[in-house]
Structure 1
């Protein structure tokens, strides 16, 4: 999981910086994930790791309950070699299923406005764009990113 997180943040942090956000050290971002890993584990969350048949980790995504009946999707990442295979969508679908099993009624997600592949994915799955949501873990950590982000909601 650490390798996936390093790759994920290695892509996202420069994207955030290009959108005028802070340049956070990758190691600090990975440590923050592990400091809060309980938020992504049952019963309050779900951590999905996609693996090849030989066990190689090739993608991940997390879900956490942020309010009663409301969940937030975070850290969707698919390694380059697996992009375009439907794995990203499968990771979102798996977390939607987990959210339903947890009794959640709403899913929220955010992304950087320049991350157009992520926006196309959420649009295609049926998420709808909304104004910023107060529970966004990204905005809580980096409120100055507000104007560079896109927010989505899906009612389950």
Structure 2
């Protein structure tokens, strides 16, 4: 699979996506038909496609959240906060993945960050519809659990919006238990106003 792609496309919302896999970053063995990259520094991250993909993910979650709660959420602050503190999902504090398919289309992402001495938190698990059912979501969860174990962490937490059907099913299939709001969760601490519309999960690793 080629290392650099310079194709462009627009998603359904008209957002221009640069479907380019940076030559930097660490290639990680992934499922057949996908190219996985794990980023070790801010400079390695292909910002434009990653940022557009993050906007797409947040828009989908905000739509589900509003449908479930009746509350409209502005995700721009969340996105700005992620990029301001992106070092928190990079070594030695965490991990960040982008996944492309054989058509050079960005189809998946996931991040993990250390939230205390023993706990990691999974963030931004998103797989585009055309790549769902392939095991890619499970791969991204498993990979970040391995990363957390490498960091010496003993527990993983996650959250998702109420109304999201796929994520709770995936987490439960992988041994996560649903819990009360995790008080160390980024979602609870940074945007406490949305916590009531979230579901929370935990797994000993």
TM-score between the two structures when normalised by the length of structure 1:
0.91
Q: Which residue of 1 aligns with 2:33?
A: none
Question: Does 2:62 match 1:6?
Answer: no
Question: Does 2:110 match 1:61?
Answer: yes
Q: In the TM superposition, what are the counterparts of 1:24-43 in structure 2 within 5 Å? A: 24=74, 26-43=75-92
TM superposition shift of 1:143: 1.9
Gaps of 5+ in 1: none
| Structure 1 Cα separation of the partners of residues 190 and 66 of structure 2 | 14
Tell whether the 8 Å contact from 2:176 to 2:202 is kept in structure 1 after alignment: yes
Tell me the C-alpha RMSD between the 2 structures: 1.6
Residues 87-141 of structure 1: per-residue CA shift (max 9 Å, x gap): 1111111101111111110000111121111100101111111111111111223
| Structure 2 Cα separation of the partners of residues 105 and 13 of structure 1 | 31
| Structure 1 Cα separation of the partners of residues 105 and 111 of structure 2 | 18
TM superposition shift of 1:54: 5.4
1:154 alignment partner, SS class: strand
TM superposition shift of 1:16: 2.2
TM-score between the two structures when normalised by the length of structure 2:
0.71
2:115 alignment partner, SS class: strand
Q: Choose from 92, 108, 117 the match for 2:157.
A: 108
Q: Which residue of 2 aligns with 1:134?
A: 183
2:114 alignment partner, SS class: strand
Gaps of 5+ in 2: 1-49
Specify the structure having the higher radius of gyration (Cα): 2
Q: Which has the higher contact order (CA 8 A, sep 6+)?
A: 1
Q: Which residue of 1 aligns with 2:14?
A: none
Q: Would you say how many aligned residue pairs link Structure 1 and Structure 2?
A: 155
